[in-house]
Chain A
């Protein structure tokens, strides 16, 4: 079994990272999962959260929201609608994301209101995980 696998992180506008990774932690919709080389082929959607990539012994973290990850034994590609290196997520970026999730929650159709509430709480949880004040709006 190989020690590393091809890892690609792409956003709609550009490719953010492409590297040989030994380990990737993905914030899957049903919970975090860590994928290593030789993982069984899986497709999972993402919840807002922190994606951690370990390549050459160095771990890089990205804040990602929306999208999915395609895992094969040979590699992983993560397609995230928005993604920023963790260091670049500032309070104002966080506020904007939370505000947007909050707006989506308020406008949500009653059938999808649960999804929107989950999106909002995940977004807030990501903020506190990164160490920013998420300013949780009251639901």
Chain B
């Protein structure tokens, strides 16, 4: 049975923890709102880009002049996984769910006899993957100094990917990130970005026939690298919103647990205080009776 003083200390310490988790929850909520706004703001650009690229791609695809970024290297032996996680923890299953998805993919690819390379974005993913797959890591992008994710961050990641692709270091690149669904639900997602995936464009959806200036191929060659950067940017923003959402709900849970624990400890504290008083009374009364 812990002493009264022990109990009191524990209550104070849990109360402090609750204050911290509550503060973290509120900070995450504020950041989440900003992150969601950023996702919304980036959407028009990404949608237009997608529409134009897939329109162009479907008309160029299959021809010999299709750029390598679209047609691929004609092989899929070397797979590059770009694992995007958070820079920090304390966000529930946010980081581990991405890493788990990536791990499954690694095992699947290795079972098929493919070579796997990993590029990590975000410290947490690298820490977790380094334990098992240290030899596969070929690079890391550090975003811990970045306060607000900008397009420039996405572009530098894209440039690194593209120069590795040009150097023939891999055939297929896939990005792993959490798609933001709601505060309580983030969906770990794998998305192939190199070679560019073309969704079969609806024939009747967009029947406008465009003039292209310069040629279709030239425009496509200009746009494909930008489209890679745009997809990475969208993934970074989704990931950021997911991280803040996950952190918010994790901290909400922690705050509630701390509250429950305080209640339990307070009851125990009161009980033992009463027990102590009763004990003292018994001692006094029996002392008086003995006289």
Contacts and interface: CB of A to CB of B under 8 A. Distances in A.
B210 A43 contact: yes
Contacts, number: 75
Nearest to B37: A14
A109 interface: yes
Given A15-B44, A81-B226, A41 B38 contact: no
- Which residue, of B41, B45, B150, B151, has the highest number of chain A Cβ atoms within 10 A? B45
A130 to B, nearest CB: 22
Interface string A37-61: 0001111110000000000000000
Interface residues of B, number: 30
B44 A10 contact: yes
Interface string B208-241: 1111111000110011001001100100000000
B260 interface: no
Interface in A83-136: 109
Contact of B52 (A11, A15, A68): A68
B101 interface: no
Given A13-B38, A109-B166, A29 B48 contact: no
B49 interface: yes
Interface string A69-88: 01010000101010000000
A8 interface: yes
B7 interface: no
A97 B109 CA distance: 41
A42 B42 CA distance: 24
Contact of A68 (B38, B208, B222): B222
A45 B52 CA distance: 12
Contacts of B209: 41
Contact of B151 (A8, A12, A28, A44): A12
A44 B56 CA distance: 12
A30 interface: yes
Contact of B211 (A12, A43, A67): A43
Size bin of chain A's contact surface: 20 to 34
Contacts of B219: 43-45, 68
A14 B48 contact: no
B196 to A, nearest CB: 16
A20 to B, nearest CB: 17
Contact of B213 (A10, A28, A67): A28
A35 B150 CA distance: 31
B212 A43 contact: yes
Contacts of B154: 12
Contacts of B230: 12
Nearest to A107: B163
6 contacts: A14-B41, A14-B42, A28-B213, A43-B219, A70-B52, A79-B49
Given A10-B48, A13-B42, 4 more contacts: A12-B45, A13-B41, A43-B212, A77-B48
Interface of B: 38, 41-42, 44-46, 48-49, 52, 56, 150-151, 154-155, 166, 208-214, 218-219, 222-223, 226, 229-230, 233
Interface of A: 8, 10-15, 28-30, 33, 40-45, 66-68, 70, 72, 77, 79, 81, 109
Pick the 8 closest A-B CB pairs, nearest first. A12-B151, A44-B213, A14-B41, A42-B211, A41-B210, A10-B45, A43-B210, A45-B222
